[in-house]
Amino acid sequence: MQRGQLDLIDYQSMPDGIYKWIMHYQDHHNKFSYLSPLTSKEANEVAIRLIEIFTLIGAPFGSVERANADIKNMLSLWMKDNKSTNWSLGLKFVQMTKNNSYHRIIKCTPYFATFGKEMNYGVGISSIPKDLLSHISTEEELEQLWKNNIEKNSPEHIQV
């Protein structure tokens, strides 16, 4: 039997533009979480979000109350760190973080349990050393580091 759990988290006291709710769907088998901002908790809007999930990954495989508390805490931290009240923007970053955190029950990350590999983080898989990436704090610094790295590794700079 395949199962998942759906919960709606009330953010009416802190609306983000048109969004007042968070839909949290968690697959019971692999603990993978899907988060979506909602304008209401009407069945048609929730159904559309569920269809988006199921058409992406198929029908569910497998307790969400604790996970909801984690999501609220992670979202609060994201808003504080980014000096933003636009929680609907931070939702996907929280989803990525949650799905890439080790889960003791399944003994791996939910991302790995779902896709059979660890997530690639884009720039993190580039040839830029991780110790240099960890010191980047602005987009401009990243762009400069990227340009320097491309120049250093271009064919005319590689010694044979």
In the chain, pLDDT over 70 holds for what percent of residues? 73
Backbone angles phi, psi at 27, to 5 degrees: -75, 125
The secondary structure of 121-156 as a DSSP string is: -GGGGSSS-HHHHTT--SHHHHHHHHHHHHHHTSGG
Between the alpha carbon of residue 74 and those of residues 48, 82, 90, 106, 134, the distances in Å are 25, 12, 9, 21, 20
What average pLDDT does the segment 10-22 reach?
A: 95
pLDDT in tens, 41-94: 999 999 999 888 887 766 654 455 677 788 888 999 989 988 888 888 888 888
Q: In what order do the strands lie in the sheet with 21-27?
A: 4-10, 21-27, 33-38
Q: What integer pLDDT is reported at residue 132 of this predicted model?
A: 67
Expressed in angstroms, the distance from the first to the final Cα of the chain is 59
CATH for the stretch 4-119: 3.30.420.10
Q: Where are the domains of the chain?
A: 4-119, 125-157
Q: How confident is the model at residue 13 (pLDDT cuts 50, 70, 90)?
A: very high
31/22 Cα distance (integer angstroms): 17
